[in-house]
Amino acid sequence: MAQLSGILGFVTVGRKPSDGVVQYLAGSSKARFKRPVVPGDRLCMESQVISGKRGIYKFECRALVDDEVVCVAEILTAEREV
């Protein structure tokens, strides 16, 4: 979910890693695991931007298996120049 949110952070502002910036995982909160995910399960992940200021983005994420929520979390990413 953190990687997905980092990619969404790039897409949201129209930038790419080749522009000389990276998205770092800055934190996670409210993570809840509802049930185990086992081999053979098809995991679908969703991420939605909640807010973004000065290169810090907050996302609401969830993971689903067969339309059942298996994990939820809030993810923070930070955009920095390399």
- pLDDT tens for each residue of 27-81: 999 999 999 999 999 999 999 999 999 999 999 999 999 999 999 999 999 999 9
| Residue pair 78/3 in contact by the 8 Å Cβ criterion | no
Show the tokens assigned to 36. Answer: 């185990």
pTM, two decimal places? 0.89
Domains of the chain (ranges; CATH) run: 2-81 (3.10.129.10)
Residue with tokens 């953190």: 2
DSSP string over 41-69: --EEEEEEEEEEETTEEEEEEEEEETTEE
Q: What is the pLDDT of residue 16?
A: 86
Residue whose C-alpha is closest to residue 21's, from 32, 10, 31, 11: 10
